[in-house]
Homo-oligomer: A and B are copies of this chain.
Amino acid sequence: MRYNPVTPQIVEQLMSIVGEANVVLEPEKMEVYGRDETSEAMWQHMPEVVVKPENARQISEIIKLANREIIPVTPRGAGTGLAAGAVPMLGGILLSLERMNKILEVDRENLFMVTEPGVTTGEVQRTARAEGFLYAGDPCSAESSFIGGNVATNAGGNKAVKYGVTGRHIYGLEVVLPNGEIVTLGGKCVKDVTGYDLVHLIVGSEGTLGVVTKVYLKLMPLLPFVADLLVPFDSVEKAIKIVPTIMTHGGIIPTCLEFMDSMSIKAAELYLNQKLPYSDAAAYVIVEIDGNTERQVEEDYETIGKLCLENGGLEVFVADNPSAQDRIWKARKCYAEALRMISPVYCMEDIVVPVSQIPRALEAINGIAEKHRVKIPCVAHAGDGNIHATLLREDRDEHTWHEVKDRVLDEIYREVYALGGALSGEHGIGAKRKGAMARFLHPAQIDMIKSIKKALDPNLILNPDKLVDVL
């Protein structure tokens, strides 16, 4: 596809759509829109213009214009992505959803919240909680990420073990399609088989099939009692083997089931500047339990605590109040920032394997790390088999770094696919993993993705250069 540049005439048309104040052209103001949380320079690229529409109608006009002129449009939420999915790799128009930041409705009768895409996940969570409901989507970036970005990547996060990923809570979307049409897919019905499941085709499509302008989020009754367990282990093997043990033991499904390895614990301690308990342990396992009664939660965490102690847990720290829970989760959630202190440039991976294969996957990663002498601290949404293995560049020069990174990633991905796993559990493909996806998915599956993309976006206007190379 040959795209055209954004000319002054086009900028004028954009201004007439969104207003002059909502068009950004100054390089220093555009710079932040040219990157996401992926730390490497190769995943940064400046847009030609940034526009900030305030409603679906404006987006529709922008997309129709882009179709007429053959200009790339990259939709963008908060820019907290980790796969360069919202980076305008081909320039063109950067469509920032930041002004569409209103919660439109909390429907107490049907347990739905309807929001615009630019609301932060944290605000969605707090608004639900204030009404006595749970919005169960909970990526670690919740305080800064937008709900629209969560939809675009089908974000996972901490509570997916029990409640499922973002897509599970989405029953309807208003979408501006690649041809500029505005359509509402689904809504507040909890079952609907009227035609193909287009809602979940859009969820996780990383802005390549449409721009989400309204989200129908399912809320759940808030279970009022919560406890967190922090369990240090003296070996990674024991720590990780507890995961399938917990998941298949009796009827208790934890809300969260997280893993941190020794390097991650140490990094968190350094970053938080605060002594963590048993911080010389080989690994932490964090388990969260929620329930409708205090007694039930106590029974459940006692069962799980006992299970941990019987299987090599060194100690079980119970946090049954918000401030103690906060301390535990801070250590887990500061992972990215903590690693940045050790190595400003790194490559965070997001592989996923069947839960029973986590021990083998971690063993393989450790083996590869040793072989290539790269530090790869790991944390995991272990209950989901989702491992964030992060290669640290440290003081390697650019060339050596890319060479070793490519080799290490290739070896990790091979292992992952041999174990029945996949490239990405929650961060997505974006620009960063496009090449790997092309190599690891079945060609027929790649062809399906290309065919759908071409069918719905024949001019390849929307977020081009992501996921697959269509042409």
Q: How many residues of A contact B (CB 8 A)?
A: 92
Question: Across the two chains, which residue of chain B brings its CB closest to A154?
Answer: B193
Residue among A184, A191, A203 with max Cβ neighbours from chain B (10 Å) = A191
Q: Which residues of A81-137 have CB atoms within 8 Å of chain B's CB atoms?
A: 107-112
**Taking the complex as formed, is A422 at the interface, i.e. its CB lies under 8 A from any CB of chain B?**
yes
Partner of A193, one of B179, B188, B429, B446: B429
Partner of A191, one of B156, B182, B198, B449: B156
| Residue numbers in B under 8 Å from A292 (CB-CB) | 250-252
**Taking the complex as formed, is A268 at the interface, i.e. its CB lies under 8 A from any CB of chain B?**
no
A207: min CB distance to chain B, Å: 12
Report whether A192 and B456 are in contact in the complex, using a CB–CB cutoff of 8 Å. Answer: no
Report whether A352 and B154 are in contact in the complex, using a CB–CB cutoff of 8 Å. Answer: no
Given A183-B442, A452-B456, A197 contacting B203 (CB threshold 8 A):
yes
Contact indicator per residue, chain A 216-258, by CB within 8 Å of chain B (1) or not (0) = 0000111110000000000000000000100110111100000
Given A292-B250, A296-B296, A354-B110, A196 contacting B426 (CB threshold 8 A):
no
Q: Which of A24-32, A160-168, A329-337 contacts B (4 or more CB under 8 A)?
A: A160-168
**Taking the complex as formed, is A467 at the interface, i.e. its CB lies under 8 A from any CB of chain B?**
yes
Given A160-B191, A189-B422, A429-B195, A355 contacting B109 (CB threshold 8 A):
yes
Report whether A197 and B420 are in contact in the complex, using a CB–CB cutoff of 8 Å. Answer: no
| Count of chain copies | 2
**Taking the complex as formed, is A181 at the interface, i.e. its CB lies under 8 A from any CB of chain B?**
yes
| Residue numbers in B under 8 Å from A221 (CB-CB) | 248, 250-253
Cα distance A244–B221 in the bound complex, in angstroms:
13
**Taking the complex as formed, is A201 at the interface, i.e. its CB lies under 8 A from any CB of chain B?**
yes
Cα distance A193–B455 in the bound complex, in angstroms:
21
Partner of A444, one of B109, B181, B222, B452: B181
A205: min CB distance to chain B, Å: 6
| Residue numbers in B under 8 Å from A354 (CB-CB) | 107, 109-110, 112, 187-189
Partner of A456, one of B209, B421, B448: B448
**Taking the complex as formed, is A454 at the interface, i.e. its CB lies under 8 A from any CB of chain B?**
yes
Residue among A160, A420, A427 with max Cβ neighbours from chain B (10 Å) = A420
Report whether B188 and A196 are in contact in the complex, using a CB–CB cutoff of 8 Å. Answer: no
**With A167-B197, A192-B422, A196-B448 given, can you name 8 additional A-B contacts, CB distance below 8 Å?**
A107-B354, A183-B444, A187-B354, A189-B420, A192-B352, A195-B445, A195-B467, A452-B452
